[in-house]
Structures are given as structure tokens and as C-alpha cells.
Amino acid sequence: MFTGIITDIGEVRSTEKRGDLRARIGTSYDTETIDLGASIACDGVCLTVIETGPDWFDVEISAETVSKTNLSHNTWAPGRRINLERALKVGDELGGHIVSGHVDGLADLIDLTDEGDSTRATFRAPEALAKFIAPKGSVTLNGTSLTVNEVNGTEFGINMIPHTKSVTTWGDARVGDKINLEIDTLARYVARLQEWQ
């Protein structure tokens, strides 16, 4: 369980295909406090730590996870910066919203427009997921909890303040990027309940 509040920007150091995909992630986390088997959200993907070093941790990524995330587009090249969040602990502040780290699909970043010091980003969601995205609701994009400003069909807009861009990888975003999208858990359950009525 996560909150979508990014606590470190990691860097992909290497990837290696060993049946599943193995990745080494550089981090500023104190890796002595990361247990083997711990969950860390990497660009919104909940991954299990299988090894640690002085300033890195390794994760294994199944073919299923690769197929559902932006890893399927070979985006995790060495040097790529990724948003990191360690799992929520009982008593931690819930500053974002409840995030599982289970990516539902990919959104396309279709526009970036500066508005004062902030940046308006427009995304296109897969049609099957667009119905779960609502104005003023929450959405998780590359692991970041963000508030939806407006929705128009399958397109939706987010406003990013300078702080968000400086403490996440959103300052690196480019039109055309494939973005890991996790819809709000509450929206998922409300929609499911309506199917039974």
C-alpha cells in the first residue's frame, strides 16, 4: 500500500533479462533499512526488493508486469530517472490517496502547457479506464498522486505545481511519453457496485 507521495527519485542503473526482467535501481534511501522482500513503488509499479547494496536495490519484474506498464516500451534504459515510494507503515501520514502499485494501463501524455509557474498536462486514457477518472478525483500517474482538473471523453488534465516537478520526474516529462496509470481504488469499487444494481 502506498500514498502516491514520491519520497525519492531513483535511477535505473541496469536491466538484465533472466527469465523475468531484473533491474538495479540507484537510490538515496538508506538501504540498510530496506528488508529483502520489501515493496517499493517504482514509477508506480509495486516491485519486490530481492537484493540491496550501499546505494541501490534490485527488483525482479515479471513478464505480466512488463506487459501492463511502460516497461513494455523499453523505457527503463540505464540512466532513466524514476519516481520511488516505500510502502506505507501504520501511523504514516496519508498525504495523497490509497495507491496499490498495480498499474491498470498506460496513458499517453498528449500536451504540456505552461500556466504561470505551473504546467498543465493533458493525457489520453484507454477507453476502458476513462470512465473511472472524474474531475477533482485522484489518479496515480507514474506513481504520483495527482488531482484531475477536467475530463473530456478519454482525455483528462492535471495541473503540476513547481514543487511537484522538482521532487518527482515530472520535470522530465515530454509529449508522447507512455505513463503508468492506476485509477482510484474507490472509483473502481463504486463502478463495480453499480454493475450489480
Q: What cell numbers appear for 53 in the block?
A: 547494496
Q: What is the pLDDT along the chain (197 residues), one digit of tens a residue?
A: 899 999 999 999 999 987 889 999 999 999 999 999 999 999 999 999 999 999 999 999 999 999 999 998 888 999 999 999 999 877 777 777 889 999 999 999 999 999 999 999 999 999 999 999 999 999 999 999 999 999 999 999 999 999 999 999 999 999 999 999 999 877 777 777 777 76
86, 117, 132 — which closes off a domain? 86
- Indicate whether 155 belongs to any domain: yes
**Does one domain contain both 77 and 122?**
no
**DSSP letters of the chain?**
-B-S---EEEEEEEEEEESEEEEEEE-SS-GGG--TT-EEEETTEEEEEEEEETTEEEEEE-HHHHHHSGGGGT---TT-EEEEEEPP-TT----S--B-S---EEEEEEEEEEETTEEEEEEE--HHHHTT--TT-EEEETTEEEEEEEEETTEEEEEE-HHHHHHSGGGG--TT-EEEEEE-HHHHHHHHHHHT-
**Does one domain contain both 30 and 72?**
yes
Q: What cell numbers appear for 152 in the block?
A: 473530456
**Does one domain contain both 110 and 178?**
yes
**Does one domain contain both 111 and 180?**
yes
- Indicate whether 130 belongs to any domain: yes
**Does one domain contain both 44 and 111?**
no
What is the rounded CA–CA span in Å between residue 187 and residue 189? 6
- Indicate whether 92 belongs to any domain: no
Domain of residue 71, CATH code:
2.40.30.20
- Residue 18 is predicted with a pLDDT of 79
**Does one domain contain both 80 and 121?**
no
**Does one domain contain both 119 and 71?**
no
**Does one domain contain both 79 and 119?**
no
Q: Output the CA–CA distances (angstroms, integers) from residue 84 to 8, 25, 117, in the order listed.
A: 5, 10, 24
33, 55, 86 — which closes off a domain? 86
- Residue 197 is predicted with a pLDDT of 67
**Does one domain contain both 144 and 117?**
yes
What is the rounded CA–CA span in Å between residue 1 and residue 101? 7
- Indicate whether 62 belongs to any domain: yes
**Does one domain contain both 50 and 125?**
no
Closest-CA residue to 4 (of 181, 187, 188, 162): 181
- Indicate whether 78 belongs to any domain: yes
- Indicate whether 128 belongs to any domain: yes
- Indicate whether 94 belongs to any domain: no
Q: Which domain holds residue 119?
A: 105-195
- Indicate whether 116 belongs to any domain: yes
**Does one domain contain both 114 and 190?**
yes
Q: What cell numbers appear for 52 in the block?
A: 540491496
| Residues forming beta bridges with residue 105, ordered by sequence position | 181
Greatest Cα pair distance, the chain, in angstroms, is 54
**Does one domain contain both 113 and 180?**
yes
Domain count, the chain: 2
